[in-house]
Amino acid sequence: MSRETWQEQLRRGTLDLAILLSVSSGPRYGLAIIQHLEAFTDLVVAEGTIYPILGRLTKEGLLESTWVEGEAPHPRKYYALTRLGTKRLAEMTDAWRDYVKKIDRLMTASERTR
């Protein structure tokens, strides 16, 4: 597997978690989620691919969306975590921390034996 393929798989695998984390502190609209992700990560390759993922997470019941008019010259679609989304985010966060800890341990052990 090439480095690019591995990085792409890593990016795709963590994008759901990153999006849920972006709205964990409160509702955000699409562009604000993208800007939040861009500020902390390099997970957004093409902005247009984030919206279908938001749609899927909404369909899966992890997010709920609301159109808000009058706040800006154009309507904005806000996304917020549902109860199921909050629960799933907690599970994903625990799993991610556990995963990182194990890989870190493995890397440390590998470095020691070098």
Partner 1 sequence: MTLSAVGEARINGYLFVLQRSLKTFLPGDSVRDAVREIESHLRERIAAADGSPNERDAIERILAELGPPLRVAQAYSLERTVDEAVATGRIVPIIRALWHLAVSTAAGFFATLAVVIGTLIGAGTIAVAIAKPFFPQNVGFFMREGDGFPHTFGGQFPVPQDEHLVGGYWIIPFALTAGLLILVLTYRGARRFLTWWRERRLS
Smallest separation (angstroms) from partner 1 to the CB of 49: 4
Chain-centroid distance, C-alpha 67: 21
Distances (CA, A) of 82 to 3, 6, 12, 48, 58: 36, 31, 22, 23, 9
Interface residue list for partner 1 (CB under 8 A): 9, 12-13, 16, 29-31, 34, 46-49, 51-53, 55-56, 59, 67, 72-77
- If the CB atoms of residues 78 and 109 are measured against partner 1, the closer one turns out to be 78
94, with CB counted inside 10 A (0-12, 13-18, 19+), is exposed
Smallest separation (angstroms) from partner 1 to the CB of 54: 8
- If the CB atoms of residues 95 and 108 are measured against partner 1, the closer one turns out to be 95
Smallest separation (angstroms) from partner 1 to the CB of 89: 16
